[in-house]
């Protein structure tokens, strides 16, 4: 039975891959947008924006302005919530994916329609298709696919309307026929206490043939560490073929995963699966970027980051986007999001097939003192500090600290969690100073604005080394431990950053100089 299923999937994967490779990306996206507009024409949003008279992408861009979550919430969803129907999408909305909006911590209720859920499943299947084509030896249906997500215990907002973590929604709505290939079972997926869930899953999963593993890198590491403690010198999952990761840049995590994947054939593949849509997946090498899912419920627009503050910024799509430029990603979806600023920045790497690199979050740009630091520059500076320190960095965050004695002056404070704890305060201080110097040198070399402001408004950066596990303890206090929760890399608001620093822990506070 297993061999027949494998053979059947390989045949399907070959046909599907050939179809995707032959697809005209521009025509596919044009037809998808036209279909979304037709379906939503009679909705309140469709009538207010005259969908009946939209014939081209340019018509759509002229009639539908860019919006963020707060605009949709106030104008269309709040009054009817949680029973939202015929507002921005004609069909009833049975689920809301909770998204914390990494640096604000405030929950967003993002609508998830049945059509969008089906589209996300098809995108996940295409991800597996590309993996099968890249690794003909793979047998994904011979074992279990382990999704390390949040609790599937969804909130009931009204009869037939639920909200929760996207992975929880996916687990609860999984088709019955797919359950023999998916782990964990519902009784374990329902566990809400993250620490207990991790212990139980680590032990119980050893009873199964785990072939795929997916989740956020920081939480996957904790799982692999727990399983490794039970397995000793053996690989946690010896038959693992595919590890899917997403949500954060993976490069800093790669050396941390290597010991757990040794003696396996596991391929590492990145996915870009947001709460709003399953946007892209790796189909080639990491350097090639992520391939956009073109026919799975999302129409993509691209606005140059430098024009976001303008009244009428340029709006590009796959027909006229430019390679190697940083764009704010804009989505229109089969869940009633229209020209929605998702908050991420991407770079177009190729146009056929269309592949992107996720540059970062818009809030990850740091310019409290006019320094205009790019997320890639911050990541490069952290990587330089880790290299010179000789120890991988598990997590990090940067924020601004204003000088109360000198208005307008201040510095960047980097909160850094390393893989080791120092034996003495003297050792920690020496490491912090060396890492701060490395970060300062790298940022000055990469960014002229930063170099110009250093010594004027901007004082030398400082590093605060946190004990291992500090960020996890912070997330636990905030009730955000596990699942898809991520550490915000940049917190531009000094007051918000001070609040976060205060809750990181007493040890971290007292060690700051």
Q: In what order do the strands lie in the sheet with 393-402?
A: 462-466, 410-418, 393-402, 490-491
Pairing of strands 155-158, 161-164: antiparallel
Q: What is the mean pLDDT of residues 413-438?
A: 89
Q: What is the mean pLDDT of residues 293-309?
A: 93
Kindly state the DSSP code that residue 143 receives in the 8-state scheme: S
Q: What is the mean pLDDT of residues 8-33?
A: 96
Q: Which residue has the higher pLDDT, 393 or 241?
A: 241
- Per the CB < 8 A criterion, the answer to whether 325 and 358 are in contact is no
Q: Which residue has the higher pLDDT, 477 or 13?
A: 13
Q: What is the mean pLDDT of residues 189-217?
A: 89
Around 149, how many Cα atoms within 13 Å sit in the side-chain half-sphere? 27
Q: What is the mean pLDDT of residues 71-82?
A: 95
pTM: 0.80
- DSSP alpha helix (H) spans, 206-347: 217-231, 254-261
Q: State residue 482's pLDDT score.
A: 58
Q: State residue 351's pLDDT score.
A: 92
- DSSP alpha helix (H) spans, 355-486: 375-389, 425-446, 448-453, 470-477
Please state which of the ranges 152-156, 263-267, 345-349 shows the lowest mean pLDDT: 152-156
Domain 365-511, second-level architecture: 2-Layer Sandwich (3.30)
Task: Please tell me the distance from the alpha carbon of residue 37 to that of residue 113, in angstroms, as a whole number.
Answer: 15
The helix/strand/coil state of 333 is strand
Q: Which residue has the higher pLDDT, 187 or 249?
A: 187
Partnered with residue 111 across adjacent β-strands are 96
Q: What is the mean pLDDT of residues 75-89?
A: 95
Distant-in-sequence, close-in-space partners of 316: CB < 8 Å, separation ≥ 6: 301, 302, 303, 304, 322, 327
Sequence ranges of the domains in the chain: 2-115+275-362, 138-264, 365-511
Picking from 313, 390, 314, 305, the residue whose alpha carbon sits closest to that of residue 347 is 305
Q: State residue 506's pLDDT score.
A: 44
Tell me the pLDDT tens digit for each residue of 358-377: 988 777 778 777 787 888 89
- DSSP alpha helix (H) spans, 262-356: none
Task: Please tell me the distance from the alpha carbon of residue 482 to that of residue 151, in angstroms, as a whole number.
Answer: 9
């Amino acid at each position: 039975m297993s061999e027949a299923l494998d053979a059947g999937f390989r045949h399907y994967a070959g046909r599907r891959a050939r179809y995707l490779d032959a697809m005209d990306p521009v025509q596919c996206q044009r037809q998808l947008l036209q279909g979304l507009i037709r379906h939503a024409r009679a909705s309140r949003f469709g009538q207010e924006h005259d969908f009946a008279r939209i014939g081209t992408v340019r018509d759509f861009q002229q009639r539908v302005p860019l919006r963020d979550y707060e605009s949709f919430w106030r104008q269309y969803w709040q009054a009817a919530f949680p029973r939202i129907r015929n507002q921005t999408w004609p069909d009833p909305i049975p689920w809301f994916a909770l998204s914390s909006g990494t640096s604000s911590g405030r929950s967003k209720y993002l609508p998830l329609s049945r059509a969008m859920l089906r589209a996300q499943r098809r995108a996940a299947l295409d991800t597996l298709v590309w993996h099968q084509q890249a690794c003909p030896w793979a047998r994904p249906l011979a074992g279990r696919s382990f999704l390390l997500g949040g609790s599937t215990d969804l909130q009931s907002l009204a009869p037939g309307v639920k909200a929760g973590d996207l992975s929880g929604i996916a687990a609860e709505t999984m088709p019955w026929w797919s359950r023999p290939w998916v782990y964990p079972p519902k009784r374990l997926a329902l566990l809400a206490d993250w620490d207990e869930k991790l212990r139980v899953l680590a032990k119980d999963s050893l009873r199964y043939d785990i072939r795929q593993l997916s989740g956020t890198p920081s939480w996957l590491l904790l799982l692999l560490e727990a399983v490794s403690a039970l397995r000793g010198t053996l690989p946690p999952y010896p038959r693992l073929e595919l590890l899917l990761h997403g949500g954060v840049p993976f490069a800093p995590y790669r050396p941390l995963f290597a010991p757990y994947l040794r003696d396996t054939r596991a391929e590492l593949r990145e996915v870009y699966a947001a709460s709003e849509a399953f946007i892209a997946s790796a189909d080639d090498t990491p350097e090639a970027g992520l391939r956009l899912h073109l026919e799975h419920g999302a129409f993509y627009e691209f606005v140059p980051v430098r024009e976001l503050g303008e009244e009428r910024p340029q709006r590009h799509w796959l027909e006229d986007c430019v390679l190697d430029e940083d764009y704010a990603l804009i989505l229109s979806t089969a869940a009633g999001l229209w020209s929605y600023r998702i908050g991420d920045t991407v770079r177009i790497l190729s146009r056929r097939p269309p592949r992107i690199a996720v540059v970062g979050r818009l809030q990850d740009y740091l310019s409290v003192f006019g320094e205009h630091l790019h997320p890639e520059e911050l990541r490069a500076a952290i990587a330089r500090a880790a290299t010179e320190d000789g120890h991988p960095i598990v997590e990090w965050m940067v924020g601004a600290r204003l000088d109360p004695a000198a208005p307008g002056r201040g510095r960047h404070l980097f909160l850094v969690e390393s893989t080791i704890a120092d034996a003495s305060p003297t050792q920690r201080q020496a490491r912090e100073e060396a890492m701060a110097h490395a970060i300062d040198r790298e940022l000055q070399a990469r960014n002229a604005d930063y170099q110009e402001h250093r010594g004027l408004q901007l004082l030398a950066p400082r590093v605060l080394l946190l004990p291992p596990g500090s960020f996890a303890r912070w997330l636990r206090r905030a009730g955000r431990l596990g699942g898809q929760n991520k550490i915000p890399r940049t917190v531009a608001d000094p007051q918000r950053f001070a609040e976060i620093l205060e809750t990181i822990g007493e040890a971290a506070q007292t060690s700051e100089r």
